[in-house]
Structure 1
């Protein structure tokens, strides 16, 4: 079994500046996903809830990929690093989801934890250098670049969507329910 929990039920600040509020909500989503995936063995992380092939292990690896991609690519304009740089994403767009079944719980948690750590560092640097209005280096087909604010909100949205999936899958594994660990 592996322990994923980073912090018990972090609460976003009730009265803080915008950056602290956004980061508070992001950390709450991260902690909830960690809790939903915590204390499970490989079978628990590979469990599926029909009709979907989604697993909690796949969620961890997917969110590691999203964390790395959204900050490296969107904000910094960098190419993907390992292990994402070895994947032919056009040929296998679900590689992160699919390949998770071949990894141990410890490997999956390590992917996710290291991606979160890298993201926290990139965001801290970006906030110090230009704040939430800072434009990312990614440019869409209309020539627009996202602000750091937009990037953070996109990541919060991605976590929130998948935490909902994690709720259902985890409940099917061992009955664990709830929004976050008890205080």
Structure 2
């Protein structure tokens, strides 16, 4: 599996700029997990229980949650539709244990592909980033998520987890330049 990390753009329109950062961080996370064994993907950095495998699955969920479920108003797809969220609010993180790197990376890659298709369709219909998503989720004090908010949130989500991934990866094999 070859993962190329696209550089962010220095000059672009708003959508292009946000997508370039999102694509850069998507690839960064996948690269942090590349080259590791399935057992290494299950290895946490104490005292946290976060693992790179759990991170791949969590980010696949977040992709589907915001782009497919909220932006496009699709119903949850497998495995999210039958996940026991009431029993474990962090099921996406915990259920990755024992899954292979190939399975987890394919789950994230497919979620990214679906997300890009949902975003492309929404922007083709109406390019206004300030409009609410199809299934608005109240944020606070009557505000709802807009397409812009989803894009900025996803950049933030990936950037935050990229920092976690750096620490976890270094604790596994000492890699600092992935």
1:135 and 2:132 equivalent?
A: yes
Unpaired runs of 5+ residues, structure 1, are none
Q: How does 1:120-159 map to 2 (within 5 A)?
A: 120-131=116-127, 132-136=129-133, 137-140=135-138, 142-159=141-158
- TM-score, normalization by structure 2: 0.92
Structure 2 residue aligned with 1:116: 112
Structure 1 residue 39, shift from structure 2 partner? 1.1
Using the alignment, how far apart are the partners of 1:57 and 1:19 within structure 2? Answer: 29
Corresponding residue pairs, total: 175
Deviation digits for residues 75-128 of structure 1 (CA, Å, limit 9, x no counterpart): 123321111000121221111111101211111111111101101111111121
CA root-mean-square deviation: 1.5
Structure 1 residue aligned with 2:18: 22
Structure 1 residue 57, shift from structure 2 partner? 0.3
Q: How does 1:28-177 map to 2 (within 5 A)?
A: 28-131=24-127, 132-136=129-133, 137-140=135-138, 142-177=141-176
Conserved? CA contact 1:87–1:95, under 8 Å: yes
Deviation digits for residues 111-163 of structure 1 (CA, Å, limit 9, x no counterpart): 11110110111111112111222320223175533111110111111111111
Name whichever of 111-120 and 125-134 sits farther off. 125-134
Using the alignment, how far apart are the partners of 2:136 and 2:146 within structure 1? Answer: 10
Name whichever of 54-63 and 35-44 sits farther off. 35-44
- Deviating 4+ runs (over 4 angstroms): none
- TM-score, normalization by structure 1: 0.90
